[in-house]
Chain A
Amino acid sequence: MAERHSSSLRSPLGRVSGLGSAKDGTSHWWAQRLSAVALLPLTLWFVISLLALPDLSYATVHAWLARPLDAFLAALGVAVLARHSLLGTSVIVEDYVHGPAAKLLALVGLRFMHVLAGAAGIFALLRLTFGTP
């Protein structure tokens, strides 16, 4: 058995547990790219569909977003936007907010806000497509 030079009595496993590889080191990077690729068609569809409307009256906009396919694509877009935005803003907080407590607080706050935003957007679209105008 190889001689250990460390004066610590902790086992190698104990030292790295919670810090080491959970085999998901690339998951954040990968999720950022996949959500970016998904947002290309979803956001362009939204912008082009909005611009193609004859006017921005309540009746026109409501009718557009109440159509099942449009409501579905918009809800999908909101969900992926919230995910992509959470990933991006989290990296900014990780890079520029210093101090473990402030960083954790900011990251938890960002996550809560993004889940809230995503859920509110999807709820609004469900109301639009299933509710009566």
Chain B
Amino acid sequence: MPARARPLSPHLQVYRWQISNTLSILHRMPGAALSLGLVLLIAWLAAVAAGESAYAGMRGLLASPVGIAALAGFTFAYFYHLLNGIRHLVWDTGRWFGRRERRASGWFVVAGAVALTAITWVAASHFGVSTHG
């Protein structure tokens, strides 16, 4: 008997991308990135504890273009993971499963993460990080 072409369950190649499944997949990546950020945070704390010269070295590293880019990435990853984590916690209580709620909260998470990242860097501008102050 010839095998008939039967519809398969939703596969990534035919899945219509939307905010819900995109954010669902994306929750882990910033989380994993933040685990690397934890290593950086520990190194920074160790540098503060080790003394003035170690701290100066760490500060120079973080004030370099690569350091600034990494810190900006970690800032966004932190706020995204935080807001989307709250979304997951609300889902755990059985709420926000409606179609409109899913989408609205998804866009809110993305917009909120961008806004909080921007606010944080504006609030950090008095450190003068870009001018090695």
Q: Report A's interface with B, CB cutoff 8 A.
A: 33, 36-37, 40, 43, 47, 51, 54-56, 58, 61-62, 65, 74, 78, 81-82, 85, 88-89, 92, 117, 120-121, 123-125, 127-128, 131
Q: Could you list 25 A-B pairs, sorted by A, with CB under 8 Å? A: A43-B78, A43-B82, A51-B123, A55-B126, A55-B133, A58-B48, A58-B55, A61-B48, A61-B55, A62-B48, A74-B45, A81-B41, A82-B38, A85-B35, A88-B31, A88-B35, A89-B31, A89-B32, A92-B28, A117-B39, A120-B46, A121-B41, A121-B46, A124-B46, A124-B49
User: Quick one: given A36-B85, A61-B55, A92-B28, are A120 and B35 in contact (CB under 8 Å)?
Assistant: no
Q: Which residues of B contact A92 (CB under 8 A)?
A: 28, 31-32
| Closest residue on chain B to residue A74 by CB atoms | B45
| Closest residue on chain A to residue B29 by CB atoms | A92
User: Quick one: given A78-B42, A88-B32, are A56 and B127 in contact (CB under 8 Å)?
Assistant: yes
Q: Which residues of A contact B50 (CB under 8 A)?
A: 124
Number of A-B contacts (CB under 8 A): 74
Tell me, in angstroms, the Cα distance from A96 to B124 when the chains sit together. 38
Q: Indicate if the CB atoms of B34 and A124 lie closer than 8 Å.
A: no
B103 within 8 A of A: no
Q: Indicate if the CB atoms of A128 and B49 lie closer than 8 Å.
A: yes
User: Quick one: given A127-B49, A131-B49, are A89 and B35 in contact (CB under 8 Å)?
Assistant: yes
Q: Indicate if the CB atoms of A65 and B38 lie closer than 8 Å.
A: no
Q: Which residues of A contact B68 (CB under 8 A)?
A: none
B59 within 8 A of A: yes
The number of residues on chain B lying at the interface, defined by a beta carbon within 8 Å of a beta carbon of chain A, is 31
Q: In this complex, which of B39, B45, B89, B124 has the most chain A Cβ atoms within 10 angstroms of its Cβ?
A: B45
Tell me, in angstroms, the Cα distance from A33 to B52 when the chains sit together. 38
Tell me, in angstroms, the Cα distance from A79 to B123 when the chains sit together. 27
* Top 7 closest pairs, chain A to chain B, by CB: A124-B49, A127-B49, A124-B45, A121-B42, A85-B35, A124-B46, A51-B123
Q: Indicate if the CB atoms of B120 and A47 lie closer than 8 Å.
A: yes
Tell me, in angstroms, the Cα distance from A123 to B45 when the chains sit together. 9
| Closest residue on chain A to residue B123 by CB atoms | A51
Q: Which residues of A contact B78 (CB under 8 A)?
A: 43, 47
Q: Indicate if the CB atoms of B48 and A65 lie closer than 8 Å.
A: yes
B29-75 interface (Cβ within 8 A of A): 31-32, 34-35, 38-39, 41-42, 45-46, 48-50, 52, 55-56, 59
A125's contact among B45, B55, B56, B82, by CB below 8 Å, is which?
Answer: B45
